[in-house]
Amino acid sequence: MKRSEEESYRDYVVARTDVMRRTAYLLCRDWHTADDLVAITMVKLYRHWSRIGTESSLDAYTRRTLLRTWLDEKRRPWRRHEELAETLPDTPDPVEFAVVSRAQLLDLLSSLPPRRRAAVVLRGYLGLSLEETAEILGCSVGTVKSQTARGLDTLRAMAAGTD
Amino acid sequence: MDKRLFDEAMGDVPPATFDVDGLVTRGRRAVRLRRLTSPATATGAAVVVVTGVVALTLTGNDGGPATGVGSAPPKITTGPSQSSRPSQPSNPTPAPPALCSRPNLETPAQLMPRLRGAVQQALIAQRPSLGVSPHPKAEYPTGVRHEALEFYQVTGDVQVAEPICSGDGYFMTMSTTSVPVEGEGTLTVIVQPDFYADLPPGDCESTTVTPEQTSCELVTTPDGDTVLRTTARMPGGVRQNRVDIDRADGTAVMVTVEDSTGGIKPGGSPTASALPLTLDQLTAIGTAPGMTLFP
């Protein structure tokens, strides 16, 4: 990698590390694991920086890599204690969760299956569109839309259970 | 539910356990090593290797300190060009070696203290006058400080009580070195499987060679270990000797020393008048019998 490219990589990492760490934490609920996920993602990014460093879709690439790194981790045989979901929810209404405390919010999030949790983080925390979320998670927009109600029902039921 | 709610729920964010310099170092290594797994690189190497190889014995004349007492560094061979690499089959999809199928593999819990002993023995053999003490950066996770030569797992998914082949792992130790009169430096040793992360060593033609790099050569030991030996001098004057070893059994070992307790960061100042170990000594340490995932 050329020195100028490496400088731009450094700038990008510095600028994105905070939000990436927070995103990773929302997925895994452990700061050390979050750091590992972000570090792995950024090293992968370094390897391809010469090709993608100037792409407008760089952020999307980074998010996708982080998500896949985390999902890969979840698929390891000794970590198969969570059920993978085929469905993706839309973002819930803030009013519906007004009674949920901050800590309960994270607990609720953790209780979602990995892909559903990823969808909530992508849409709710990163503010991505349905299209962007579907692209990162590798499913169609139609699938995302059609499964929205089911996902929200799941979250509503869990929120009700915290009362 | 929006970003603000999540941020409030997360509360205070602890300091990161990595920094951009470390990511760049790991990235350079990954790129360098990745090149060797690509068919294109293997083809290029095959063209180079037909010119033949010559054998040589390294005796420590590489600008580092005199060896003094210690076991002889291994005899190694190198290609006619310092930047060439012997041909070897390309391996675009690394897979666990046959050794992973043998019973009673070590777990990280067993591996890490054994590696500590192996490094300690190798250091005594190579430079008995070298002192080691805890390094201020040997802290992982945050708040957990490690003793001199103590190995700890930084990343990877192998569990501490699971066999070493059950997942990737990155085991490192970082220590402050001290030599009378010369001063203090840094010794870092990293051991990891090379079959999960594209980790055979690279070559001197790699695009990751930086302007700070002052020398590079790729050598092969009689045991079939390939060793990428590099030196670097950073802005500010800090120097580094480094070996990246791809052991024949599937273990990747990196050993580095700097003449600064601050590591290899640009802008740092040397805290020693000489590097604590030569490339030959680093090679001997990294290829010591115990420096493997498969003892």
User: Who wins on pLDDT, B14 or B43?
Assistant: B14
Two tokens, residue B126: 């190579």
Q: Per the CB < 8 Å rule, is B207 touching A1?
A: yes
Q: How many domains does chain B have?
A: 1
| Banded model confidence at residue A86, pLDDT cuts 50, 70, 90 | very low
Q: Per the CB < 8 Å rule, is A42 touching B210?
A: no
Q: Where in chain A is the domain with CATH 1.10.10.10?
A: 94-161
Residue B178: strand pairing partners: B131, B184
Q: Is B15 on the interface with A (CB under 8 A)?
A: no
SS3 label, residue B213: strand
Whether the complex's predicted ipTM surpasses the cut of 0.85: no
Across the range A95-101, mean pLDDT stands at: 49
Two tokens, residue B206: 């790699």
Rounded mean pLDDT of chain B?
74
10 Å CB burial of residue B40 (0-12, 13-18, 19+) is exposed
Contacts of A25 in chain B (CB under 8 A): 10, 13
Task: For domain A94-161, give its CATH number from 1.10.3720.10, 2.60.40.10, 1.10.10.10, 1.10.1660.10.
Answer: 1.10.10.10
The pLDDT value given to residue B156: 65
Q: Is residue B223 part of a domain?
A: yes
CB B176 within 8 A of CB B134: yes
Q: Is residue B30 part of a domain?
A: yes
Residues 6+ apart with CB under 8 A from A30: none
Query: Helix, strand, coil: what percent of chain B each, to 5?
Result: 25, 25, 50
Per-residue pLDDT tens digits for B196-247: 644 444 666 543 445 567 888 889 999 889 898 989 887 788 898 989 888 8
Half-sphere exposure of B161 (CA within 13 A, CB side): 1
User: Which chain A residue has its CA at the smallest distance from B21's CA?
Assistant: A10
Per-residue pLDDT tens digits for B105-134: 999 999 999 999 999 999 999 999 999 999
Q: Is B24 on the interface with A (CB under 8 A)?
A: yes
Residue from B189, B180, B188 nearest B272 by CA: B180
Contacts of A21 in chain B (CB under 8 A): 13, 16
Contacts of A76 in chain B (CB under 8 A): 157, 167
Share of chain B above pLDDT 90, in %: 32
CATH for A3-79 is: 1.10.1740
Q: Is residue B96 part of a domain?
A: no
Residue to substitute from B2, B6, B13, B160, interface A, most A β-carbons within 10 A: B6
Per-residue pLDDT tens digits for B248-295: 888 989 899 999 998 766 567 899 999 999 999 999 999 999 999 999
Residue B95 has pLDDT above 80, yes or no: no
The pLDDT value given to residue A122: 83
Q: Is residue B147 part of a domain?
A: yes
Q: Residue B187: give the domain boundaries.
A: 21-87+105-286
Q: Is residue B98 part of a domain?
A: no
Q: Is A126 on the interface with B (CB under 8 A)?
A: yes
What is the total residue count of chain A?
163
The pLDDT value given to residue B139: 86
Residue B150: strand pairing partners: none
CB A131 within 8 A of CB A141: yes
Q: Where in chain A is the domain with CATH 1.10.1740?
A: 3-79
